[in-house]
Chains A and B, each alone.
Chain A
Amino acid sequence: MHPSIYMQFLSQLKAGQRAVISAIEAEDSLFHRLTALGFRVGKPLSIMRRASFNGPIHVRLGTTDVILRVTEADRIQINAI
């Protein structure tokens, strides 16, 4: 098994897909913000929609709806379910 081959990021998901967060690789300020909004390893999320022209991604985690840019979503590793 080579996990790196199967590494998948939040930014790669399509609208309607569900996934579980497997790792967050971000500097302190981004990490804090993500944690405060409910992004934690092991937490399930679903992609509600993606904006046109490669705009932000609308994610739902538990009770919270969040929008984030692709650059930020690139820092969040997930396992699609």
Chain B
Amino acid sequence: MFKERQKDSELTMGKFLKNFGLGLVYIIFLPLLLAILVLFGVYGIGVCIIEFFAGTIRFFQGKEPFPPLWEDAKVAEIKQAQMEAQLGTPAPVAPSPANPAGPSTVYVQQNYYNGQHPANGSTPTPSPAPMPIESDAYFHDQRPQPPLIDVTGQANPALNQPSAPQIPANPPSNNSLAGYIDISSNDPKGGSNS
């Protein structure tokens, strides 16, 4: 490998003549090459002007100035499908909101209680109870709970929400059932009792 490179870097008579001949060829074809370069330069300026105006028009239409070509989009789609096929997850359905959120969208948060509606005074129809899954992986029932009496004097009512029951780290031993179930009689391997 090293010897080949060394051989390539050596200046031989053949290379000398080849460079000489190439120089002659380039001298002969120089006007033609320059003419081609100039033609491509003029054509390139035209291409740039067209691309500039096309991108500007798309930009002012609210679109991306240079969106990806459909071939590239198709490749991205195939790659995504391949990745999902390898992971074994179904392809997600592309969300198509009827009214997508934009700068003109106004969010109204309802801060009143589930009682009378302030606008028309009527009682709203109860919506079906949601089934939220919290970040602690527990299901929290948010349906109306019986009223609690705050005896701690805390101002924040959120602190008084009932929490999920804690699962003890060490399950109770079987010894607690020893008084109710005869384990030794059903255990084919035999229990501790004789």
Chain A bound to chain B: no
Chain A interface residues (CB < 8 Å from chain B): none
Chain B interface residues (CB < 8 Å from chain A): none
